[in-house]
Amino acid sequence: EKMRAEQQERGVPSGYDRRCRSLPATDIERYEAEGLPFVVRLKMPLEGVCQLKDPIRGEVKQEYRLQDDQVLLKSDGFPTYFLAATVDDHLMGITHVLRGEEWLGSAPKMIYLYEVLGWKQPVIAHLPVILGSDRKKLSKRHGATNFRWFIEQGYLPEALINFLVLLGWSTGEENREILSINEVIERFSLDGITEHPAIFDYEKLKWMNGYYIRQSEPGRIIGLCIPYLVRAGLLSNPPTTEEIAYARRIIPLEQERMKTLSEVVELVGFFFEELNYPQGYDEKAIAKWMGVPHIHALLEQEIAAFEALPDWNHTAIDRKSTRLNSSHTVISYAVFCLKKK
DSSP bridge pairs for 112? none
Secondary structure class of 59 (helix, strand, coil): strand
Gap between the Cα atoms of 112 and 49, Å rounded: 11
Would you tell me how many other CB atoms lie within 10 Å of the CB of residue 300? 10
Work out whether strand 123-127 and strand 130-131 pair parallel, antiparallel, or are unpaired.
unpaired
19, 69 in Cβ contact below 8 A? no
Please enumerate in sequence order all residues whose Cβ is within 8 A of that of 23, keeping only pairs 6 or more positions apart, or say none. 31
The values of phi and psi at residue 282, to 5°, are -90, 110
Pick the closest to residue 312 from 279, 286, 335 (CA basis): 335
Catalytic residue among 2, 61, 120, 140: 140
**130 touches 102 (CB < 8 A):** no
Q: In whole angstroms, give the CA distance from residue 319 to residue 141.
A: 48
What CA–CA distance (Å, rounded) separates 243 from 236? 8
Cα separation of 239 and 233, whole Å?
10
**H/E element, 288:** none
- What are φ and ψ of residue 84, in 5° steps? -60, -45
For this structure, is 140 an active site residue?
yes
Residues 235, 240, 244, 247: what is their CA dihedral angle, to the nearest 10 degrees? -30
Q: List 125's β-bridge partners, or say none.
A: 98
Neighbour count for residue 117 (Cβ, 10 Å): 12
Spatial distance between the Cα atoms of 337 and 309, rounded to a whole number of angstroms: 14
Enumerate the active-site residues.
140
